[in-house]
A and B are shown apart, each in its own frame.
Chain A
Amino acid sequence: MSARRIFARPARFAAIAPYVWMVLFFLVPFAFVLKISLSQTAIAQPPYDPVFDVTAGWDALKAALAALSFDNFRLLASDDIYVFAYVRSLTVAVTATALLLLIGYPIAYGMARLPKSWQAVVMVLVIVPFWTSFLIRIYAWINILQHDGLLNQILLALHLVSQPVVWLSTDSAMYIGIVYSYLPFMILPLYATLAKMEPALEEAAADLGAPPWQVFWLVTFPLSLPGVGAGVLLCFIPIVGEFVIPDLLAGSNSLMIGQTLWLEFFTNKDWPVASAAAIVLLVVLLVPLLLYERLQRRQLELGR
């Protein structure tokens, strides 16, 4: 009954490794950030106060602890700039994820229905853009979307527009950039669930009198929900914190939380507020994560 006897020593080490990783690279840095978020900004090195100094003795440590406060969190809640940034981040992430799902699902579905030999080829085509640096690809989009860029040239040549359209520094450009960059993250988990789905299930639905659209809605889609969940999370969470794409492609009149964070940290040198913003973002993102976790556990309990 004890797991210890089942696992050999190397296996036991392998089982511990993820926890060591979590502590070293998540919990410890998180503790730092949390502590900074409770500090006050100061013109000093490092630029916040108090600083814990273990060599200064017990009383100094107690004084430092007493100096910690939740002021930065109160500021985040009271200042519209931050609230708007969070709301915009979530709006952008929801919209972009919805677009990604709408575009990614048919592609993944089509891939899963291709002959086996073709699936590998298309898979490579989906992954190939990763071989080029992400930043270069976004700069390429700037090139395509600019005033005399490729997109406007094509639109003009096709006489779809009479004068160049302003693309750069708009939300459209940002959504194009986000959807383009994150599409593989949506397609791959969807493809994985759709490809391993037994084709006989769809045939059984058709056999029992379901026309094609019902086959999709009653069988294919519900059974692909684990893939939908994975794809949505893989896109939604990083998009909420996205910094590069909105910074390069969107206008500067409304910022996402990632950009606000960057401003606080590098321009205002206000580490504590930036840290508090990061902590709130993490908490906001924990909600969908926990929901997904619960969903997965229920799936596991069902034995699938």
Chain B
Amino acid sequence: MTDELPKTHAATGAADREAAPGQPLLRIEGVAKTFGTFRAVDGVSLDIRAGEFFALLGPSGCGKTTLLRMLAGFEAPDEGRILLGDKDIAQALPHERPINMMFQNYALFPHLSVRDNIAFGLKRAGMARADIATRVAEMVALVKLEGLEKRKPDQLSGGQRQRVALARALARRPQLLLLDEPLAALDKKLRESTQGELMELQRRLGTTFIIVTHDQEEAMTMASRIGVMNAGKLAQVASPRELYEAPRSRWIAEFVGDVNVFDGETKLRDGHRLVIGTRDAGPLVVAEPREPVGAGKLAVAIRPEKVKLSRRGPVSEAGYETAINRLDGVIADVCYLGGSTTYKVKLETGGTVQASVANSARLDVDAYSVDQQIVAWFSPDDCVVLQS
């Protein structure tokens, strides 16, 4: 999706040069890494634009951390190039790269104070003493750690440690900041507020962030683009919305959020509509996908919040399609989640479908109970057709 990037971007020497916003800062070309017989990263190509907040998302063992470690220089790729500006840094040592990393468990130096932790990278860069003091003060203010400069890491709370790690990684003003599961060690409430702070910080500094996470909600919240990895390969690179609403494969659809998937085959093609015969839910009408699908095995995916429920069938709405998908069944399971309720509907055709209904009223007049006869329905436009 980033193939339209100009081939000769302004790069006439110094690799340290800041690329213009929107230009690729980092270009990963066919990078692969094998540990023994395990191919951890299997030919990944990806462009990271300057100033973007990019998330590498995937289940554990998918190769996202290995890819990040290759960007930091802790692993050398067996194949491929990593271009920063126009310089291939694939084999450069960690201390030679204008890239910094925030480690998963922060890796703060336990024998150094907050101040010395933050100043560590500046001293290595040979900065003047007075400049170091100024920069440290600046970073301390940036992450709101005033008054804690003399503390050792083990005299800090988890949230404070996380801030020190962030300040230390940002102190050298890296072109690229790598964040390895930066919020995994924080509790839920703190994690949510920290997500907001990280995004705010990234916007303010304009530094390019690459975050590695297994938490899809975290990736969706923070990143402007997400690269989903599976088994060492990039499965899809897209905006959070595109990833959720137009997943490219069944695996992605199931990995990102909840989804109902019905396997089937094309039965009928009628202009911009497609009828797919499914085993579990009978024939389903779907919109013709943008990329034409073959005639073979297909799957229809529908997100639970796009499945509506009612006692008597599709509620008449102005302008809704007549070719609606209507499934009869009984409520098999009710799961109340506060903001919404998830119903599991056992269909007459044999399958089950999940519907997530927002609890928009405080009283339970709209709630359904187990064993109740119900009609589940959804629009063809809300279905995604996937190659199975």
A18 at the interface (CB under 8 A from B): no
A98 part of interface (Cβ distance < 8 Å): no
Find chain B residues with CB under 8 A from A304 CB: 110, 154
If over half of A's interface residues share one DSSP class (helix, strand or loop), that class is named, otherwise mixed; here it is: helix
A residues 9-43 with Cβ under 8 Å of B? Answer: none
| Residues 186-219 of chain A, each 1 if its beta carbon lies under 8 Å from chain B, else 0 | 0000000000001011011111111100100011
- In Å, the complex CA distance between A211 and B168 comes to 17
From known contacts A201-B109, A219-B109, infer whether A209 and B121 are also in contact, taking CB-CB under 8 Å: yes
Report yes or no: B111 in contact with A208, Cβ–Cβ below 8 A: no
**18 contacts across the A-B interface (CB closer than 8 A):** A198-B105, A203-B72, A203-B94, A203-B103, A204-B108, A205-B120, A206-B93, A207-B94, A207-B95, A208-B100, A208-B172, A209-B125, A214-B124, A218-B120, A219-B109, A223-B109, A302-B152, A302-B154
In this complex, the member of B121, B155, B169 whose beta carbon has the largest number of chain A beta carbons within 10 angstroms is: B121
Contact A303 B94 (CB under 8 A): no
B residues 154-173 touching A (CB-CB < 8 Å): 154-155, 168-169, 172
B107 engages A223 (CB within 8 Å): no
A residues in contact with B72, CB < 8 Å: 203, 207
In the complex, the answer to whether A206 meets B95 with C-beta atoms within 8 Å is yes
Number of A-B contacts (CB under 8 A): 68
Interface residue A222 (Cβ < 8 Å from any Cβ of B): yes
B300 at the interface (CB under 8 A from A): no
Q: How far is the CB of B191 from chain A (nearest CB, A)?
A: 20
Nearest-neighbor residue (CB-CB) of B110 within chain A? A304
CA distance A210 to B95 in the complex (A): 6
Least Cβ–Cβ distance between B290 and chain A, in angstroms: 42
Chain A residues in the interface with B (C-beta under 8 A): 198, 200-201, 203-211, 214, 218-219, 222-223, 302-304
Q: Interface size on B (CB < 8 Å)?
A: 27
* The 3 residue pairs across chains A and B that have the minimum distance between CB atoms: A208-B121, A209-B124, A200-B107
Q: How far is the CA of A62 from the CA of B112 in the complex (A)?
A: 59
Interchain nearest-CB distance for B208 vs A (Å): 16
Residues from chain B with a CB closer than 8 A to the CB of A218 are 120
User: A302 to chain B: which residues have CB within 8 Å?
Assistant: 152, 154
Separation of A223 and B72 alpha carbons in the complex (Å): 23
Across-interface contacts of B101 in A (CB, < 8 A): 203-204, 207
Q: Could you tell me if A201 and B107 are in contact, using CB atoms closer than 8 angstroms?
A: yes
* Residue in contact with A209 in the complex, picked from B95, B105, B107, B152, CB distance below 8 Å: B95
CA distance A198 to B154 in the complex (A): 15
Task: Let me know if B74 is at the binding interface, CB within 8 A.
Answer: yes
For the A-B complex with A203-B74, A205-B120, A208-B121 known, give 15 more contacts whose Cβ atoms are closer than 8 Å: A203-B103, A206-B74, A206-B95, A207-B73, A207-B95, A207-B100, A207-B169, A208-B95, A208-B100, A208-B120, A209-B124, A211-B93, A219-B109, A302-B154, A303-B152
**Who on chain B is nearest to A202 by CB?**
B107
Does B154 contact A200, Cβ atoms closer than 8 Å? no
Chain A nearest Cβ from B125, distance in angstroms: 6
Q: Which residues between 134 and 164 of chain B lie within 8 Å of chain A, taking CB atoms?
A: 152, 154-155
Digitize B83-118: 1 where CB-to-A-CB distance is under 8 Å, 0 elsewhere: 000000000011100011101110111110000000
Tell me, rounded to whole Å, the shortest Cβ–Cβ distance linking A118 to chain B.
15
A residues within 8 A CB of B168? Answer: 204, 208
With A302-B154, A303-B154, A304-B154 known to touch, is A210 a contact of B124 (CB < 8 Å)? yes
In the complex where A198-B107, A201-B109, A222-B111 touch, is A211 in contact with B154 (Cβ < 8 A)? no
B105 cross-chain contacts in A, Cβ below 8 A: 198, 200
Distance in Å from the Cβ of B82 to the closest Cβ of chain A?
A: 15
Chain A residues near B120 (CB-CB < 8 A): 205, 208, 210, 218
- Who on chain B is nearest to A218 by CB? B120
Q: How far is the CB of B44 from chain A (nearest CB, A)?
A: 21
CA distance A108 to B93 in the complex (A): 25
**With the chains together, A214 CA to B95 CA distance in Å?**
11
Interchain nearest-CB distance for A199 vs B (Å): 9
**Most chain B C-beta atoms within 10 Å of own C-beta, residue among A200, A207, A218, A302:** A207
Min CB gap B252→A, angstroms: 31
Given the complex, which residues of B lie within 8 Å of A206, measured CB to CB? 73-74, 93-95
Complex CA distance for A251 and B305, rounded to whole angstroms: 90
CB nearest neighbor in A for B171: A208
Q: Are A204 and B109 closer than 8 Å at their CB atoms?
A: yes
- Chain A nearest CB, measured from B224 CB (Å): 24
Contacts of A219 in B (CB 8 A): 109
Complex contacts, B100 vs chain A, CB 8 Å: 207-208
Question: For A211, what are the chain B residues with a Cβ–Cβ distance below 8 Å?
Answer: 93, 95
Known: A200-B103, A203-B103. A303 touches B155 (CB 8 A): yes
User: Which residues of the partner chain B approach A303 to less than 8 Å between Cβ atoms?
Assistant: 152, 154-155
Contacts of B125 in A (CB 8 A): 209
A205 CB contact (under 8 Å) in B73, B109, B110, B152:
B109
Which of A198, A203, A208, A223 makes the CB contact (< 8 A) with B124?
A: A208
A20 to B72, CA, bound (A): 56
In this complex, which of A204, A205, A219 has the most chain B Cβ atoms within 10 angstroms of its Cβ?
Answer: A204
Q: How close is A204's CB to chain B, nearest CB, in angstroms? A: 4
The distance in angstroms between the C-alpha atoms of A214 and B121, with both chains bound, is 12
Tell me which residues across on chain A come within 8 A of B104, comparing CB atoms.
Answer: 200
**Minimum C-beta distance from B232 to chain A (A):** 22
Q: Which residues of A contact B124 (CB under 8 A)?
A: 208-210, 214
* Residue in A206, A214, A219 with the greatest tally of chain B CB atoms within 10 Å: A206
Nearest B residue to A302 via CB reads B152
Shortest distance between the CB of B175 and any CB in chain A (Å)? 14
